[in-house]
Chains A and B, each alone.
Chain A
Amino acid sequence: MSLHASTAAEIGRGLRAKKYSSVEVAKHFLGRIERANPGLNAFVTVTAERALADARRADERIARGHGGPLTGVPLAHKDIFCTAGILTSCGSRMLSNFVAPYDATVVERLDAAGMVLLGKTNMDEFAMGSSNETSYYGPVKNPWDTGKVPGGSSGGSAAAVASRIAPVATGTDTGGSIRQPGALTGLTGFKPTYGRVSRYGMIAFASSLDQAGVLAQSAEDAALVLGAMAGFDARDSTSVDAPVPDYAKGLERPVKGLRIGIIREFFGEGLDAGTGAAVRAAIDAFRKEGATVTELSLPNLPLSVPTYYVVAPAECSSNLSRYDGVRFGHRCKDPKDLLDLYRRSRGEGFGAEVKRRIMTGTYVLSAGYYDAYYLKAQKVRSLINADFRRAFGQVDVLMGPTAPTPAFAIGAKTDDPILMYLNDIYTIGANLAGLPAVSVPCGLVDGLPVGLQVIGPHFSEERLLATAHAWQCATDWHRRVPAAYA
């Protein structure tokens, strides 16, 4: 079995069994990046020297017998996480000159676990997008079909892992930005409960929705990486002070007796037939393994998209005010006065989608419109929350599709923001309610992967990972690699 066909967990075991060194592993993946990245555009920055230094340190640690399950295993970080001394662009011209002076908590923790940093991955600008086409660094290609998008906003991370040029990568999920690209590239995309992972050092898009997670080849990998990055952080007031279970240990929990709810609203108009069939077949397989399946209605869930497109832009319009050309980031040439400095620095630094959302957000918060938009959206948000709470009174997990269709062609939806926004119709609910959710590959439609989404109650990460793991023990969709990268 070749190195890159191994999961992160398998590489970790191989390192501890001294089958190979971390330096060898790092060199293998750096070589693959060098060959494949020009075609995929998955990385904004490759940190080859840093990777080799990390790997040498990891080898020493393993030699001393101090290696953990992830020590010496390479990873890539979405370019939204601040990495000290390394360009942290957030996919934007605005931060195309921003070398972060500190490490995000996620970066710090995975570093402490001994992981080896391969580089920073491409993404939609400020994580605003569902196709990775809004990046200042150009679109990322889907390894399954380079004419197609990999999904977004964590599209670079998804493409890197799907093409096995990185064994695992971090991502962030504000409205589906881990799960949707996970589904479109055949990966396990895990978004934890809001507050489970610190947001410190993760560049904010919509603070009440943003959550860091993992794009992985398997539930086991997701469990290991999530376990290393999760936990309370005093630097993030919204991080939750609750112990982190050993997710890897909990993977073997049986599916028998699992109460599954099917969200009726997720199987209506707009769902691609092939995707729907693959998802139904997967749920059927769970039933055969001894799970019970109930169809449920979450009547307010169809309001997720409009609600999200009020709340997220409102928060982003304020979060992105700090990019003013004064202290860091892009500054226009020769500003003639303060207003000119603001107008041109922001006008030149931000792309069209970011501007659209800043304007939407500014509008919904402005005097006279606040009640009709922002306040109403918050009320709908609590109704959606209540829908989920009620559902979890009856079932353990909810299942449905992750995205309405498999990957679409690059450029197909760039002229129609609403059509683009509808890509997140099944994923946004979990963000609005702060719930953990995972997308696992459940089939191929016309040669393109599709995902099954599993949503659980707050802090049910163990249950979700065990459910995904059980599925992956019974199937091999997650082992499929696009032929060009096998």
Chain B
Amino acid sequence: MAREWETVIGLEIHAQLATRSKIFSGSATAYGGSPNVQANLVDLGYPGVLPVLNREAVRMAVKFGLAIGATVARRSVFARKNYFYPDLPKGYQISQYELPVVASGAVEILLDDGARKSVGVTRAHLEEDAGKSLHEGLGRMSGIDLNRAGTPLLEIVSEPDMRSAREAIAYMKKIHTLVRYLEICDGNMQEGSFRCDANVSVRPKGARDYGTRCEIKNLNSFRFVERAINHEVARQVELIEGGGKVVQETRLYDPGRDETRSMRSKEEANDYRYFPDPDLLPLSLDDAFIEDVRQGLPELPDAKAARFAKEHGLSDYDAGVLTASRELANYYEEAARASGGKWKRTANVVAGEVLGRLNRDGLDIQDARITPILLAGLVARVEDETISISSVKPVFEWMWDHGADADAAIAAKDRRQIKDTGAIEKAIAEVMAANPRQLADYRAGKDKLFGFFVGQVMKATAGKANPAQVNELLKRMLAGP
């Protein structure tokens, strides 16, 4: 009597904005300084100090709003979220509550089956981050590091539009790509610059009302988000099928044990006593400012991928892979242009060899050891048949390891294609002599063995023989005199 369940997921993503200084003070935002060196009197919440809004943070939020086709509020309001915690110096966090700067946007994600789906973004608002409490290595004491206090965050709240962990990851990756394209967030998840909370509930398939949701806090990798959601869905289904009820609560994902556990229930939740911050005037944005931000927007990933598909003839999948970051797309496009517009061949080399190598070495495209121009040289050598496809990999690897151009690599690895008919005939003759049984079978009508002979000839020539010539000569010589 197993019922079918539908998962409903909404995400709250916190993207740390890449401003030089904090959202309400002039302190630096750089990561990793010794504790409290990047906290001034405003960050420390000293008596008498006042917040002054960083315009750059506003510009970044507006950029994001425009990029997801959202409404950018002409008037938004900063509010105080009141609660006590030692790493929250003022006893309140300045955030936006009733009137956020960005509302009602959407992004499109590509599903596993190739279909597209729109995920709504309810709102995105500006707020300040808190500091960090440190409990390790201090004995009975706790330490407080306020370097992060006041760092600008954009909290991006989605609609409950996702129906599986895979969709949630696709959405999260989409936002991740977007904020890096816009250069408003470095996207570094290890350092916590990009993290998310997931609201998860289940309901019987076809039901109209949502089930009771749990919020899973502070997920800082794509893998954890997927595992935490899958775990939570299983927990909720098991609970309900066992006759229990899901309680609305905040849960924490423990990656070590791969489980979520309760942090606090709805009853224990704080009453944050939000009210408009009287130290800050409402944020007013005029059309000229918004238009100015719009003019400065880069080509966005979706538009770029569509252009790659339409103008370069790439598949949707490849176009998506190559636009995962602005730097990668630029690398591909520069290499393809330098190769004289060999779009597909360049795309294959970038998506295959370059990304493969980066992935293996744990590097980003910015760390690529060969320039797009050098890569274009490799593509050119395939195009002019100096090397065959099977030589791309070894030549590429040598280029990468030596930072060398294609010709040097081809010479060093001796990968130049063999086009000398005599040499190929000689190789074929030797293969025929070495495999009399197969030859006899072939001549007896076993055509399938043709591929075997191609393989043997290529092997004998270390993959360097011109494939067309090999085909043609093999056909003639196998047929017999």
Residues of A participating in the B interface, judged by any CB pair closer than 8 Å: 81-82, 88, 90, 95, 98, 100-102, 104, 199-204, 206-208, 234-238, 314-315, 317-318, 320-322, 324, 326-329, 338, 342, 362, 365-367, 370, 374
Are B45's CB and A327's CB within 8 A? yes
Are A201's CB and B48's CB within 8 A? yes
Q: Which residues of B contact A98 (CB under 8 A)?
A: 47
Are B89's CB and A327's CB within 8 A? yes
Additional pairs, 11, CB under 8 Å, beyond known A234-B52, A238-B278: A82-B48, A199-B50, A200-B48, A204-B279, A235-B52, A315-B278, A321-B92, A324-B84, A327-B46, A327-B89, A370-B275
Are B279's CB and A237's CB within 8 A? yes
Q: How far is the CA of A315 from the CA of B53 in the complex (A)?
A: 20
Q: How far is the CA of A370 from the CA of B275 in the complex (A)?
A: 9
B105-149 interface with A by 8 A CB criterion: 144
Are A318's CB and B91's CB within 8 A? yes
Are A207's CB and B89's CB within 8 A? no
Most buried by B among A327, A329, A366: A327
Q: Which residues of A contact B449 (CB under 8 A)?
A: none
B60-108 interface with A by 8 A CB criterion: 80, 82, 84, 86, 89-92
Are B48's CB and A366's CB within 8 A? no
Q: In the complex, which of the residues B52, B273, B278 contacts A362, with contact meaning CB atoms closer than 8 Å?
A: B273
Q: Which residues of B contact A199 (CB under 8 A)?
A: 50
Nearest-neighbor residue (CB-CB) of B51 within chain A? A237
Interface size of B in residues (CB-CB distance below 8 Å): 28
Name the distance in Å between A485's Cβ and chain B's nearest Cβ: 32
Residues of B participating in the A interface, judged by any CB pair closer than 8 Å: 41, 44-53, 80, 82, 84, 86, 89-92, 144, 271, 273-275, 278-281
Are A328's CB and B52's CB within 8 A? no
Q: In the complex, which of the residues B50, B89, B273 contacts A322, with contact meaning CB atoms closer than 8 Å?
A: B89
Q: A200-B49, A235-B50, A235-B52 are in contact. Are A327 and B279 (CB under 8 A)?
A: no
Q: List 16 A-B contacts (CB under 8 A).
A: A100-B48, A102-B41, A202-B48, A204-B47, A206-B278, A234-B52, A237-B51, A237-B281, A315-B278, A317-B82, A322-B45, A322-B90, A327-B89, A329-B47, A342-B84, A370-B273
Most buried by B among A234, A315, A320: A315
Are B273's CB and A95's CB within 8 A? no
Are A203's CB and B47's CB within 8 A? yes
Q: Which residues of B contact A327 (CB under 8 A)?
A: 44-46, 89
Q: In the complex, which of the residues B48, B49, B144, B280 contacts A326, with contact meaning CB atoms closer than 8 Å?
A: B144
Q: A101-B46, A365-B275 are in contact. Are A237 and B280 (CB under 8 A)?
A: yes
Are A101's CB and B279's CB within 8 A? no
Are A365's CB and B273's CB within 8 A? yes
Name the distance in Å between B132's Cβ and chain A's nearest Cβ: 14
Q: In the complex, which of the residues A90, A237, A318, A374 contacts B47, with contact meaning CB atoms closer than 8 Å?
A: A90
Are B47's CB and A321's CB within 8 A? no
Are A237's CB and B52's CB within 8 A? yes
Q: How far is the CA of A94 from the CA of B280 in the complex (A)?
A: 26
Are B281's CB and A238's CB within 8 A? yes
Are A318's CB and B45's CB within 8 A? no
Q: Which residues of B contact A203 (CB under 8 A)?
A: 47-48
Are A204's CB and B84's CB within 8 A? no
